[in-house]
Chains A and B, each alone.
Chain A
Amino acid sequence: MESRTLPKDRLDQLVDALIADYTVIAPKDERSYGEIESASEWRSDGDKPAQSLKQFFLPERELLVRYTKSRSGVELVEPPSPRSMARVILGARPCDVAALPVLDLVFQWDDEDSLYLERRESTAIIAMACDEPCTTCFCASLGGSPAGTEGADLLLTELDDAYHVAVVSERGRELVDRYSDLFEESSVEHERQRVQAQEASLAKLPRQVDIEGLDEVLEFENPVWETLTQQCLDCGICTFLCPTCHCFDIRDEGTPQQGERVRLWDACTFPSYTQAHAGQPRPVHYRRYRQRIMHKFRYYSENFGRTLCVGCGRCIEHCPVGIDLRQVLSQVRTG
């Protein structure tokens, strides 16, 4: 793969140049990624933020249309296209970035979801390889890696005195060309350091989980579901923090005369999810949890040929009661 290096003392210059030209989003604090207005706002070390990148493509609340009813009829006003807003996401974790191609599959499946797809089109992604995986990370189980490039335009890897810059896509090349005075040609020594750094972080990955053939052994009728996660509280943490969970609800807010149609994140773990006139098809916990796992590791695979999980481990790290998806996956396998 084509590559460059960026001397460490030029990183801030690159960030400032990007901020001058784009809306720049980067890890801001322990909680989330967010828009930064200066290089110092980027929290470039530390664990991944609690929230993934999902909110920048599928906002937790998204306006679909404003409506006003008058004597002459109903006036509908759509929100401006997100395409007009050019963004760069900086320092994104490879797992968060790998989640985007997974989401693309569903948002252009039976219908083109224009708001989502326009945000994707107008956003370049500069990922940063992880040097210290968390104890909950299992990206390698899902085909990813702490230095995974899937979904990224550029991937930075921290070396001794510079960042190695892998040019992953055409859009990535446009970025290095645009700021060409900041980048240098990559040397053999830099390449050696990159390989060493990436191998070192791979070696630090904790216990992984075997998902080979999981879609075939996951059975709806398996009695193990009933007691598998009886300690689960049915909150929305795992789904809301998950970079690939994408279920939403559509609601009208306002009055019959005037208001907004919005879509909001929803979670299959909520007892109210899928509640309809006929009642609740998944009234008890284990049925809701079974849906979550079956969707991620069987139904999604059947529809799209890949799992709805990138192994970021947020659902494990933030579960209020210590439920570990890796354990769940090994238990449904052994029954």
Chain B
Amino acid sequence: MQQITSRIQEEARRLLSEDLVDMVIGYEEGWDPSTTTPCVVRDEAQVSRLIFDERCVYNLARYLVGREGYLTSRFVPADKRPRVALVARPATLRTVSVLIQEHQFGREDLVILGIVDGTASAVKPDVEVGQIEPDDARREETRARVGELAQMSASERWAFWREEFSKCIRCYACRQVCPFCYCEECIAEENRPQWIGRSPLPRNNISWNAIRAFHLVGRCVDCGECERVCPVDIPLSLINVKMVEEVAAVFDYVAGVDVEAAPALATFQVDDTDDFVR
């Protein structure tokens, strides 16, 4: 891990000193010794702030996109946007692949200092700064829980999710942390018409969480951030991973492994057995 930190600092120093980028988005120590926090380094003299270890879990691709994203901000003209270098964990590499596929920015708009774990990703780092073990344990556990849910009867499953969603306080941390929730105006905020009731009532919470889940179908790369940040511990990965499995089974499509591929839900075949797509 120490080696990864050195490599990140070395590359950040080079990129900034040679004026190849304007900023490096990475991780630094938090104020509390148990935490780290995302940081933006614009100055060569600040490069020593950058670190990497097992506490650095955030999916930093979040900062590239959306209304105030560094590569897409509506408040900064396109020619004034910064040239960004991004420290990218394996899930962030997959995320960047999908964001490029969705035309949020081009591959050339970003220098990637990547940490890899052998998981397939379309986008390769410009510089590989390290290798870590794949988070197989977490992903296996999620898959196992998805399997358990699949064994339930529909009414048991419905009861399970109704209970989970009843806890939702509509803080929207799941949306805000998600790099794929880059809509300028979220459907949850639209009020003419109001698609989703704003009150944290069970029926509205189900609408909100179900609609967000549908919007991630064929896009989610299972970085696990939404579940990690949920302050009331709703197991959001169970929905997203279920959708990943469905899309793989039905469309033979996995998000993040092919930049040229048309996204599963943004394409159709004329001989599709369902005629509503024609």
A interface with B by C-beta (< 8 Å) = 30-32, 50-51, 60-61, 135-136, 206, 227, 230-231, 233-237, 240-241, 249, 251, 253, 262, 264-265, 267, 270-272, 283-285, 316, 318, 320-324, 326-327
Asked if A326 contacts B37 (CB within 8 A), the reply is no
Asked if A230 contacts B170 (CB within 8 A), the reply is no
Asked if A284 contacts B199 (CB within 8 A), the reply is no
Interface size on B, as a range, is: 35 or more
Residues of B within 8 A of A230 (CB): 40
Residues of B within 8 A of A327 (CB): 30-31
- A288–B219 CA distance with the chains assembled, in angstroms: 30
Asked if B38 contacts A321 (CB within 8 A), the reply is yes
Q: A30-B233, A271-B67 are in contact. Are A61 and B201 (CB under 8 A)?
A: yes
Q: A235-B172, A284-B75, A320-B177 are in contact. Are A264 and B36 (CB under 8 A)?
A: no
Residues of B within 8 A of A136 (CB): 32
Residues of A within 8 A of B172 (CB): 235-236, 270
Asked if A284 contacts B38 (CB within 8 A), the reply is no
Closest residue to B171 on the A side, CB-wise?
A236
Q: Which 3 A-B pairs have the closest CB atoms?
A: A322-B37, A236-B171, A327-B31
Asked if B171 contacts A237 (CB within 8 A), the reply is yes
Asked if A262 contacts B199 (CB within 8 A), the reply is yes
Asked if B40 contacts A320 (CB within 8 A), the reply is no
- A138–B30 CA distance with the chains assembled, in angstroms: 16
Q: Does B39 contact A (CB under 8 A)?
A: yes
Q: Beta-carbon contacts of B23-62 to A below 8 Å, as 1s and 0s?
A: 0000000111111111110000000000000000010001
Asked if A321 contacts B198 (CB within 8 A), the reply is no
Residues of B within 8 A of A31 (CB): 167, 231-233
Residues of A within 8 A of B40 (CB): 227, 230-231
B interface with A by C-beta (< 8 Å) = 30-40, 58, 62-63, 67-68, 75, 167, 169-173, 175-177, 189, 197-201, 225, 228-229, 231-233
Majority SS at the chain B contact face: loop
Asked if B173 contacts A231 (CB within 8 A), the reply is no
Residues of A within 8 A of B62 (CB): 233
A-B contact pairs, 25 of them (CB 8 A): A31-B231, A51-B169, A60-B169, A136-B32, A231-B40, A234-B176, A235-B171, A235-B172, A235-B175, A236-B171, A237-B171, A240-B169, A272-B189, A284-B68, A284-B75, A285-B68, A316-B32, A320-B58, A320-B176, A320-B228, A322-B37, A322-B38, A324-B30, A324-B31, A327-B31
Query: Shortest beta-carbon distance, A269 to chain B, in Å?
Result: 9
Asked if A235 contacts B200 (CB within 8 A), the reply is no
Asked if B67 contacts A237 (CB within 8 A), the reply is no
Asked if A318 contacts B199 (CB within 8 A), the reply is no
- A320–B225 CA distance with the chains assembled, in angstroms: 9
Q: A31-B167, A235-B176, A237-B171 are in contact. List 20 more A-B contacts (CB 8 A).
A: A32-B232, A50-B231, A51-B232, A135-B33, A227-B40, A231-B37, A231-B39, A231-B63, A233-B176, A235-B173, A235-B175, A262-B199, A264-B199, A264-B200, A318-B231, A320-B177, A322-B35, A322-B58, A324-B31, A324-B35
